[in-house]
Structure 1
Amino acid sequence: MDTGPVTSGTVTTDLTVGGMTCAACVNRVEKKLGRLEGVTASVNLATGRARVEHPPDIAAEELVAAVVKAGYTAELPKPPRKAKAEGDDEETADTAGAEASRQDRNRLLVTALLAVPVLVVSMVPALQFRNWQWLCFALTAPVVFWSAWPFHVRALRGLRHSSATMDTLVSLGVVASFLWSTYALFLGGAGEPGMEMAFSLVPGASPDAPAIYLEATVSVPLFVLAGRFLEARARSGTGEALRSLARLTAKEVSLHENGSERLVPIEELTTGQVFMVRPGERVATDGEVVQGSSAVDLSLVTGESEPVEVAPGSAVVGGAVNAGGLLLVRATAVGADTQLARIAQLVTDAQAGKAKAQRLADTVAGFFVPVVLALAVTTLGFWLGAGADAQPAITACVAVLVVACPCALGLATPTALMAATGRGAQIGVLVRGPQALEGLQHLDAVVLDKTGTLTSGHMSVARVTTVPDGPDEATVLRLAGAVEQGSEHPLGRAIVAYARKEPAGQRLPEVRDFRALTGRGVSGLVEGGRVEVLAPGDDLPRPLADALAAAETAARTPVLVRVDGVDQALIEVGDVVRPGSFRAVDRLRRLGVRPVLATGDREAPARAVADALGIDDVHARRSPEDKARLVEDLREQGYRVAVVGDGVNDAAALAGADLGIAMGSGTDVAITAADVTLARGNIDALADAVELARRTLGTIRVNLVWAFGYNVVTVPLAMVGLLNPMVAAAAMSVSSLLVVGNSLRLRTWQPSAPRRRVR
C-alpha cells in the first residue's frame, strides 16, 4: 500500500484501478470514492491510478471496496519488501502489460480477418456474388459475440451499477445494427438470392436497397479495438521516461569489505557500507567517493550532458555511469531516500494530478454518455415520428451512438502531462503536478537567490591578471598552487583546486622551505625560485593596480603572486557566477519574466553579480523574512511570482510565492518547499521549465478544443443522417488517436537555442 504521511488529519493512498475506458469511467470512480466521508480522489485515465486523500480511520480496503462497487477493479500497490520478495515490481508490471497487449493484438487480428471481407464485399457491388449476404452474416456473428464481448460485459456491468460509459455506446451500436440486419435478412427480404446493395458514405443514398448494416456491425468493433490498441501503445510511450528512470536502479551491488568483494542484492545495501563501481557500471546508490578518481555521466539522471570529474570526497548519484577508473563509494542514502528515487516519485506525483481544464472535462464526461443515449433515442423517435422509414431512422440512431467519443476528453490532459513530465525529467526539470505547470505558464516575475543559485556557492578563482613580459597565466597558477598546497586557508584551497584543473589535470610541482607568513600569506621554494602568495600592498605595477581596483568593485578577494621579490600577477578569488546564468536570465527576460535578485550578501557583491547578468532590480542584505516580504510586495503589485533558491534561508520565500523553484543541488528543506526542482543544478533549466510549461498547456488546450469540437460537430451530423455508422466508428477511433498523437510530440520537445552573448 502506497500511503503517504498524515497531513492535516488525512493520509494519501494510491490505488491501481482497472476497467476504465473513458472519462465517464473516471468521473464515476471519483464520485463513488467521494461519497465516503472526508474522501477526495483524483483518478488518472492514462495511468490507471487513483490518488485518494482520506481520514486515517478509513482503511484502504474500504477504498478498494468502493471502487469495486462502482463496477471496476482496484488493488493496492505491493509493499516494497513484498514486491522484492516476489520479484522486481517493474518487471512484473511490464510482463503483465505485455501479456495484455498480446491479447488485445490477437483479438484485433482475428477481428480484422473476419471483418475485412465483410467490409470489402459490402462496399463493392461488383464483388457481391449470389448469397453473399449470408456469408457476411456468418462472418459478422463471431465479431458481435466474441470480438465485441468485452464491450458487452463492461456495458452490462455499468448497467448493474446504474452507469453508462463509452462501452455502453459501442455495445448498443453493435447490437442495434446487428439486430436490424438479422431482421432484414430473415424477415425483411434482404436474404433473397441475388440481392445487391450499393454502398455510400452518406446513409439513405439508396433508399430502395434492402437495409442491412453488417459492414457497420463489424466496423465498430474493428475500429474501436484498433484505436484502443494503438492508443494503449502510444500511452505507454508517454510513460517511457519514468520506466527509464526505474531501469537505472541497480539490481546488485559489489560490497567491498576487509579487502574482499562480494555481490549482494541492492536491497541488502545499507548506509555507511562501501561498494565498488567498475568502469562502465552504474553507481548503485547515492554516496561519497572514498577511493579512486573518474568521470561520471549524469545525463540520464539530471539531463546534464557533460561528464563530471569525481575524486575522494566527491558526492555521486545513484544511476550515474562510471566512465573512467575504479571507484570505491560509501553509501550515504539507499532506497526511497536516494535522489533517483525522489526524482521518480516527483514524476509519479506529477502524473497523478489534474489541470483545471481536465477537471471540467471530467465533469462534462460524467453527463456525456447519458446525454448521448438520450440524443440517440430522440433521433430515432424524431425520424420515425416524421414518417421516415425504419432504415434511415436506425441508421441515424446507430451513428449517434458510435460517433460520440468521451475517450478524447479523458485523455486530453493526462497523456500530455505524462509526456511533459517525462520529458522534463530527461532534461532535469521536475514538476510536482499540473498546478506547477500552470504556474510556470503564467509566470511574469522571478526572485533569484545569489549564492548557490546564480553563483557556484563556493570560493573559486574568478580572474588572473599578469604583468607584461612576465610569466603567463598557466605558469602563475602552477606556481601559486604549488605553494598553497601547504596552506589550510579557504583562499589557498580555492587556488589549489583551480590550478589543478587549469590547464586540464596539470600536476603541481613540489614546494620546499614552506613558510606561513602570519597575517600576510605563504611562501616557498618552487622549481628553484622563491614564490610568495600575499595580500596585495599599495605599490603595484599599473596592470595589477587596475586589477586590484576592479576586484574591490566586484567584492572579490585579491591575492598577489610575487616571484623572487617581483610582483608578477594578481589572482581574484570569489564566489563566481555559474556558467549559463547570463544565458538563463536573458532567456527569462525574452520570455516576459522580470528577474529580481534578492540575497543576504553585501551590496557590493550583489551589485557585481547583478551587473554581470544584466539584472536591474537588486535587494541586498535581505533576511529570510525580508525575502518573504519582498515576494508578498511583488504579488500585491500584480506579479505572479516564482522564487528560486537552494538553502534553508529560502524555504519561507519558496513556500510563500506563487511558485517555488529549488535547485537540485540545494538542501532537502528547499526542495521539499518547492513546486519545481531543477535537478541538474543549472539555473538555465528554469527557462527550459517555463518553455516546457507553455508548450504543455498549449498542447492540452489544443487537445480539449479538438475533443469538445469533434463531438459538437459530429453528433449533430449523425442526428440528421449525414454520417454512415461505419464512418462514424472510424472517426470516433481517430479522435482519440489524434489527441494521444498530439501529446506524444512533447516527448521530442527541445528547448529553444540560446542567443549568443555579445561582448
Structure 2
Amino acid sequence: MKGHHDNHSHDGHEHQDHHGNEDHEHHDHSGHDHHGNGHMGHDHGDMVKEFRTKFFISLIVTIPVLLLSPMIQNFLGIDLRFEGDMYVLLVLSTFIFFYGGWPFLTGAISELKDRNPGMMTLIGMAITIAYVYSAMVVFGWPGEQLFWELATLVVIMLLGHWVEMNSISGASKSLEELVQLMPDEANRLKDDGSIETVAIQDLTHGDSVLVKPGEKIPVDGAITKGSSQVDESMITGESVPVDKSTGEALIGGSINKGGSLTVEVEKTGDDAYLSQVVEMIRSAQETRSKTQDFTNKAAKWLFYLALAAGFITFAVWILLGAPIDTAVQRMVTVMIITCPHALGLAAPLVIAVSTSLSAKLGLLIKDRAHFEEARKTDAVVFDKTGTLTQGAFGVTNIQTFGELSRTEILKFAGAVEKESEHPIAEGILNDAQEKAIELYESENFQSITGKGIEGQVQGKTIHVVSPGYVIDEALTFDDTEFQKWSEEGKTVVFLLIDEHIEGAIALSDIIRESSKEAVKTLHDHGIKAIMLTGDNEKVANYVAKTIGIDEVYAEVLPDKKASKIKEIQERGLKVAMTGDGINDAPALATADLGIAVGAGTDIAVESADIVLVDSDPKDVLGIFRLSKRTYSKLVQNLIWASGYNIVAIPLAAGVLAPVGIVISPAVGAVLMSLSTIIVAINAQLLRRFRIE
C-alpha cells in the first residue's frame, strides 16, 4: 500500500467506531454444539436432469403413439391403420409406461409405504390402470384402448415435475460456499523462523502462521506481529476494511489488505467462526416450517375419491346386472377421468410462469414454499451495509472555510488521495469522477502515521488529515458542521493548504436512492421496516431517520443476528430478512422469508429464499405483490382442476345412463383436456403482472 489514513478520530468519534464498532476479541464462538460436519442438504441437480431427459425422450415416443391411436386418427380425419399396428402401439406405450412413468411408480410405492398417498400415488394409479386396461383391450378385452391418454399423462407429469424441480435449489450450496471462503493452505512459521506450507486441517492451537498482503486469513487467531487493514466484509458485512494491530483478533476467511501479519492460531475446525455459521445455517434450515404443497393435499383427497368412486361404480353396475366388461369400463372411465392432468399442471404451470416472470423483474425465487408465504409478511428486516446503503464510502458533505469552492476542495484533496489506496481516498476519487472534476497533479506524496497524508500540489503543501491532526496542531475552525456530521456517524477529513484549513469533507456509506421510496411503499401496505446491523448506533440511527425506518437494532454481533430475528418473530410478526453479507446468512435462513441482494456474497445469496438481482430495495414489495398474485392463481387453478372432477366423476360413473347419457373413457379424456387448457390459459394470465 502506498499510503493510508490510519485513524480519523476526534473525541470518541473513532473511525473504526463508525464502521463496525465490534470488538472481535470478545466474540464468543463457543456456545454452539456441533454434530459432525454439518448437514449438506439434498442436491436436486441429478433429479432435474433425470426429469428433463425422461420428458424429452417420452415426448418423442409419444408422437407415434398419438398417430397410431384410432381416436386421434378419427379426430384428425386420417387413417394410418395397418396390420399389427396395435401391437406396435403396445410396445411404444410399454416403453413410456416403464421408462417415463418409473419416477411416479416408485414415488407411489414410497407414498403408500409411508401411508401418505398423494400426487405420485394418484399418477401411478392412473397410468397403471390406463396401461393394464389398454393392454387387455389389445389382447381382446371389449373396450377402447387408452394408450394416448397414458402417454400424454406421463409426458405432462414429467414436464410438471421437471419445472418444479428446476425451481428448487438445494440448501447444500450455502454451506459449500462458506467452506470455499477458507483457503486450503497456510504459511506456518517453524521454530527456526523458516516457513512451511501446510494444509489448514494440520494447524493446531498455538501455531503461528504468516499472512501476506492480499491473502485470506486461514484461521481464527490473534495478531502477534504486524499491523494491517483487514477486509471483513465477507464475514461481517462491514463495508470499510478494519485497522488491525498486535493483540487484535482475526476471523478466518477475512482478507489481509495491507502489511504482513503473524497470527497465532486460536480456533480451528468446528470451533472456528465460519464453522459455527455453517452450523447456524444448518439448524435454521432444519427448523424451518414445512409448508405442504396445495397440489399434494388435493391429490391426496383425489386419490381417495378416485379409489372410492371407481370401486363403488364397479360394484353398482355389477349389482344392476351389467356385464363385467361394462362395469370395468365404467370403473376405468372414472379412474381415468380422475387422472390429474389439470391438477398436475395447476401448480407447476403457475410456478413456471411465476418463476420466469420474476426473473425478468429481477427476482430470483429459490424456495417456492417460502415465496408463497411471503404474502403474509408483517415486517421486513433490512441489513444496512450493502442493502439500504451501497456498501462503499462516498462523499456526503463538503464545507469550505476560505475562498475555495467545493469543486476546488475536491481537486486539491483528490490530487493527493490519488496516491492512496484507503477507502476514504476511493470515496473522494469516486465523487470527483462522478462530478467529472479533473484533479490536479501532485508530487512528494507521503503518509503521516495515524494522521493522514500529504503532498505537493501547484507548489503548495497539501494535507488531507484527521480531526486528531487538527487538534494536535491547535488549528481553529467553525466546528458546528463537524459536530453534526460526527453525531451522524460520518467520517470527516480536513483539507489543509500550507497549514491553513480550507475545507472539510464528510464521508459515509452512501444510502441507496431507492431505500427511502422502498420503506415508504412498505408503510403504505401496512408492513413495518426494521434495521438490523452490526454497524455503529449513530450511523444506524442516522440512516434509519433519513429513510424512515421504524425500529433499529444496531451493534448486533454477526452471530446474534439470527437471535434478533427470532425475537421479532416471537412478537407474532411474519418476518422477511433482507441482507447481503455472510453475517446475514443465519438470519436469512431463520426468517420466514430470506431475501438476498444480488450484489452480496454467494453465501448470503444461497442462504436466501429469494435473490434481488438488481439489489434494489424497492423490489422487496414486488416480491409480496407477486406472491399474492401467484397464490391467487394457484387457488384458481386448483378450483378449476378439482371442480372439474367433482362434476365429471359422477357423469363418468354413469349417473345419467338411465336417460341415455354415457361418457366413454375417450370422451372423458377429451373433457379432461379442456380442463387442462383452462388451467394453462389461467396460468399464462399471470404474465400481465407488473411491479408498480
The TM-score with structure 2 as length reference comes to 0.59
Tell me what 1:686 maps to. 620
Change (3 A) 1:238 1:509: farther
Q: Does 1:731 align with 2:671?
A: yes
2:535 is aligned, of 598, 601, 611, to 601
Range with greater deviation from structure 2 (701-710 or 222-231): 222-231
1:502 pairs, out of 424, 434, 439, with 434
Q: CA deviation at 1:675?
A: 4.2
State how far apart, in whole Å, the 2-side matches of 1:233 and 1:119 are.
25
Secondary structure of 2:652's match? Answer: helix
SS in 2 for 1:165: helix
1:704 pairs with 628, 638, 641, which one?
638
Per the TM alignment, residue 678 of structure 1 is displaced from its structure 2 partner at its CA by 4.2
| Correspondence for 2:298 | 361
Cα drift, residue 100 of structure 1: 4.1
1:485: which partner in 2?
418
Partner of 1:167: 127
CA distance in 2, matches of 1:402, 1:653: 47
Letter in 2 for 1:511: S
How far the C-alpha of 1:511 sits from its partner, in A, is 0.7
Per the TM alignment, residue 550 of structure 1 is displaced from its structure 2 partner at its CA by 4.8
In structure 1, the partner of 2:493 is 559
Cα distance change of structure 1 residues 687 and 565 upon mapping to structure 2, 3 Å threshold: same
1:633 is matched with: 567
Partner of 1:101: 59
Deviations 1:316-346 (A, max 9, x none): xxxxxxxxxxxxxxxxxxxxxxxxxxxxxxx
CA distance 1:610–1:408, change in 2 (3 Å)? same
Partner of 1:381: 318
Aligned-pair distance for 1:221? 5.2
* Superposed CA offset, 1:75-134 (max 9, x none): xxxxxxxxxxxxxxxxxx76x7655433322333444xx54664588xxxxxxxxxxxxx
Shift in Å, 1:712: 1.0
Q: Does 1:406 align with 2:340?
A: yes
Partner SS for 1:408? helix
Counterpart position of 2:548 = 614
Equivalent residue number for residue 441 of structure 1? 375
Cα shift at 1:642 = 3.0
1:610 Cα offset (Å): 0.6
Assess, with a 3 A threshold, how the Cα gap between structure 1 residues 401 and 516 changes in structure 2: closer, same or farther.
closer
**1:511 aligned residue (428, 438, 442):** 442
Q: Structure 1 residues 451-460 or 463-472, which shifts more?
A: 463-472
Matches of 1:395 and 1:165, distance apart in 2? 16
- 8 Å contact 1:234–1:741 — kept in the other structure? no
Q: How many angstroms apart in 2 are the aligned matches of 1:557 and 1:15?
A: 47
C-alpha separation between the residues in 1 aligned to 2:37 and 2:491? 48
Q: Distance in 1 between matches of 2:164 and 2:608?
A: 25
* Cα distance in 1 for residues equivalent to 2:312 and 2:538: 72
- Equivalence for 1:199: none
Please, which runs of 5 or more residues in structure 1 have no aligned partner? Answer: 18-45, 50-92, 122-134, 184-212, 244-287, 289-352, 754-759
Quick one: distance in 2 between partners of 1:97 and 1:152? 15
Distance 1:481 1:592, change over 3 A: same
Q: Which moved more, 1:673-682 or 1:230-239?
A: 230-239
Cα distance change of structure 1 residues 565 and 674 upon mapping to structure 2, 3 Å threshold: same
Give CA-to-partner distance per residue, 1:167-192, whole Å, 9 cap, x none.
24445776899999x97xxxxxxxxx
Name the SS for the 2:396 alignment partner.
strand
Alignment of 1:464-475 (within 5 A): 464=398, 471=405, 473=407
Partner of 1:752: 691
> How far 1:626 sits from its partner (Å)?
5.6
- Once the two structures are TM-superposed, the CA of residue 659 in structure 1 deviates from its matched residue by 3.7
SS of equivalent to 1:643: strand
| Equivalent residue, structure 2, for 1:370 | 307
What is the identity, as a one-letter code, of the residue corresponding to 2:425? Answer: G
AA at the equivalent of 1:457: G
The alpha carbon displacement at 1:727 in A equals 3.6
Q: What is the CA-CA distance between 1:717 and the residue it aligns to? A: 2.7
Equivalent residue of 1:638, what SS?
A: coil
Shift in Å at residue 165 of structure 1? 1.9
Alpha carbons of 1:15 and 1:489: their partners in 2 closer, same or farther (altered >3 Å)?
closer
Q: Name the amino acid aligned to 1:733.
A: S
Q: Is the 8 A contact 1:151 1:170 kept in 2?
A: no
> Displacement of 1:451 after TM fit?
2.4
**Structure 1 pair 672–227 and aligned structure 2 pair: CA distance change class (3 A):** closer
Shift of 1:613: 1.5
SS at match of 2:624: helix
For the residue of structure 1 that corresponds to 2:339, the secondary structure is coil
> Could you say if the C-alpha distance between residues 629 and 179 of structure 1 is closer, same or farther in structure 2, counting changes exceeding 3 Å?
closer
Q: How does 1:73-472 map to 2 (within 5 A)?
A: 98-111=56-69, 115=71, 118-119=74-75, 139=81, 145-147=87-89, 154=97, 165-171=125-131, 217=144, 355-378=292-315, 380-381=317-318, 384=321, 399-421=333-355, 424=358, 429-464=363-398, 471=405
- Greater shift, 151-160 or 735-744, is seen at 151-160
Q: Distance in 2 between the 1:367 and 1:567 partners?
A: 84
- CA distance in 2 between partners of 1:612 and 1:740 (Å): 46
Aligned-pair CA distance for 1:641: 2.0
- How big is the shift at 1:713? 1.4
CA separation of 1:662/1:240 partners in 2, compared to 1, >3 Å: closer, same or farther? closer
TM-align CA RMSD: 5.0
Is the CA contact 2:582–2:601 (under 8 Å) kept in the aligned structure 1?
yes
C-alpha contact (below 8 Å) 2:419/2:445 kept by paired residues = yes
Deviation at 1:752, TM superposition (A): 1.0
* Preserved CA contact (<8 Å) 1:665 1:681: yes
Aligned-residue offset at 1:596: 1.0
Conservation of the 8 A alpha-carbon contact between 1:661 and 1:676: yes
Deviation at 1:716?
1.6
**8 Å contact kept, 1:486–1:514:** yes
- CA drift of 1:601 comes to 2.8
Q: For 2:671, give the aligned amino acid.
A: A
Q: What is aligned with 1:317?
A: none
- Report if aligned partners of 1:516, 1:523 keep a CA contact under 8 Å in 2: yes
User: What code does the residue aligned with 2:572 have?
Assistant: G
Aligned amino acid, residue 107 of structure 1:
V
Q: Is the 8 A contact 2:495 2:504 kept in 1?
A: yes
Percent of aligned positions that are identical: 27
For the residue of structure 2 that corresponds to 1:573, the secondary structure is strand
Q: Distance in 2 between matches of 1:174 and 1:522?
A: 87
Please name the residue that 1:331 is paired with: none
Deviation, structure 1 residue 639? 0.9
Residue 103 of structure 1 aligns to which amino acid in structure 2?
Answer: V
Deviation per CA, 1:656-679, whole angstroms, max 9, x where unpaired?
433444444445665565444445
Aligned partners of 2:65 and 2:93 also within 8 Å:
no
Matched residue pairs, number?
510
Q: Kindly provide the CA deviation profile for residues 376-420 of structure 1, in whole angstroms up to 9, marking residues without a partner as x.
A: 4145336657xxx99998986665344322233334334444554
Shift of 1:483: 1.9
Tell me whether 518-527 or 576-585 shows the greater mean CA deviation: 518-527
Q: Give me the whole-angstrom Cα distance separating, in 1, the residues matched to 2:509 and 2:296.
A: 47
SS of 2:534's equivalent in the other structure is coil
Q: Is the CA contact 1:239–1:422 (under 8 Å) kept in the aligned structure 2? A: no
* Shift, 1:618, TM fit: 1.8
Tell me, in whole angstroms, the C-alpha distance in 2 between the residues paired with 1:451 and 1:144: 68
Give per-residue Cα distances to partners, 1:250-271, cap 9 Å, x unaligned: xxxxxxxxxxxxxxxxxxxxxx
Q: Secondary structure at the match of 2:576?
A: strand
Q: Tell me, in whole angstroms, the C-alpha distance in 2 between the residues paired with 1:230 and 1:675.
A: 27
Equivalents in 2 of 1:397, 1:521: separation in Å?
Answer: 88
Code of the residue aligned with 1:101 in structure 2: it is L
**Larger RCO of the pair (alpha carbons < 8 Å, separation 6+):** 2
User: Any gaps of 5 or more consecutive residues in structure 2?
Assistant: 1-34, 113-120, 170-213, 215-289
Residue 580 of structure 1: SS of its match in structure 2?
A: helix
